Amino acid sequence: MSKLLSSFRDILGNLKIVTVLFVFLYSFSSASVWKKYAWHPSSQVNFGKEFADQNKEETPKGAIVFLGEEGNLGAGYDGQIFYYYSRMLSGFSLDWPKGFETSFRAPRIGYPLLTSPFGWFGTYGTIFGMYILNLGILYLSYLGVRDLLPDSQKYLSAFYLLSPFALGSYILLVSDTVMMGLVVGAYWAFFRQRYLLFSILAGISILTKEQAFFFLFPLGLETLYKKEFRNSVWVASSLILPTAWSLYLRTQFPEWSPGSLGNFFDPFGGLFGYYGELKQVLASGEWNLILLIKKFSRFPLVLLLLYGTYLVFKGDWKKGLAFRLGFGILLLTVYVGGYVLYWATYENVSRMFTLSVPLLLLWEKEDETLPSSPYWVLGGLILVSFLIKLAFVSKPLRHIIW
């Protein structure tokens, strides 16, 4: 058994092998989506007809546009928001896309801003830019994680690159993977004492998605605790870009307030709602394999949440305290996530775990006594089940070619 584990670690520690696995995994995943929609790359952007109708000039010709199912208007998914936001920036304009929800969309300029130069090559330039940005930043940050880990733990960096949560974000071309890559890159720069690079990357990561705070806030507290006040100033400098952008938004949208994000949370409401959903399905007796797979696809995430909570109270409390705190805060947000906006769908709730992977990796780097193996095993099972769902369970949605 020990020889088998040693061989497994050698495989995961091999940069070339892991890179090939990464290319295969992401190519297979994209192909599983594209084949359902005439092999068109726009299918991952998830354009919805309602939004496309409001922004006809910027909707790519020939794109896959979803019509929605019974009971909704075909509003698509969040990837299209970042697409239209980026198109606006590509034209050096702040003429906000129609239908744009400003209270929590407008602050997240990081991903669209980084994508916007690709938009100079047209609407499809923006689409391929979203792919390139997701894949490029993820791989570069993987190299950063690998560089940070000692030789005995470099195999763990494979869990970062092959994370089911980063893959799930990529499939939807949303911001979670980009945010994770930026904040991990920022930490690498901080660790290597490249503070100006840290400040820029950290600031953009916050502008990409607010979850970056789960990484940066504990890091700032740690520098204060250690009385490394110069480092504390550099961590605080990551707030310059987000603060400047927030002040600008207040001039454009006087009603805007960060407090609006509180509407997304309902302590234990999401978990209880999911429990009620499972209970209703089991009590009905009308079971079929596809229905059960769909309903129970979120159950491994419940197990991951529970084991993650167990981890928060294990290990050496004198080591990796910043990562323990960040990991705990992240899990707390999963507990308080509401049902409709989070726990009702696998895609929404799984993305909440994205940052848990690098936090746990770097925590384990500092505390080797941490019993993290079950977390990685559960992550592997979630990855396999996600691929099965993607390739064999998910059916094409109603759509048109624009």
Enter the pTM of the model.
Answer: 0.95
The rounded distance, in Å, linking the Cα atoms of 277 and 304 is 19
Q: How far apart, in Å, do the first and last CA atoms of the chain sit?
A: 55
**Beta bridge mates, 401:** 64
The rounded distance, in Å, linking the Cα atoms of 134 and 168 is 11
Indicate whether 319 pLDDT > 90.
Answer: yes
Q: Average pLDDT of 128-145?
A: 98
> 231-235, 287-291, 389-393: which has the minimum mean pLDDT?
287-291
Per-residue pLDDT of 19-66, as tens digits, reads 999 999 999 999 999 999 999 999 999 999 999 999 999 999 999 999
216 φ/ψ angles, rounded to the nearest 5 degrees: -85, -35
Q: Average pLDDT of 328-344?
A: 93
Alpha helices per DSSP H over 156-288: 157-161, 164-172, 176-191, 195-208, 213-225, 229-236, 240-252, 269-284
198 φ/ψ angles, rounded to the nearest 5 degrees: -60, -50
**AA letter at 150:** P
Contact of 215 with 359, CB cutoff 8 Å? yes
Which of the pair, 259 or 219, is modelled with greater confidence? 219
> Where along the chain do its domains lie?
2-401
Question: Strand order of the sheet with strand 64-66?
Answer: 47-48, 64-66, 399-401
Average pLDDT, the chain: 92
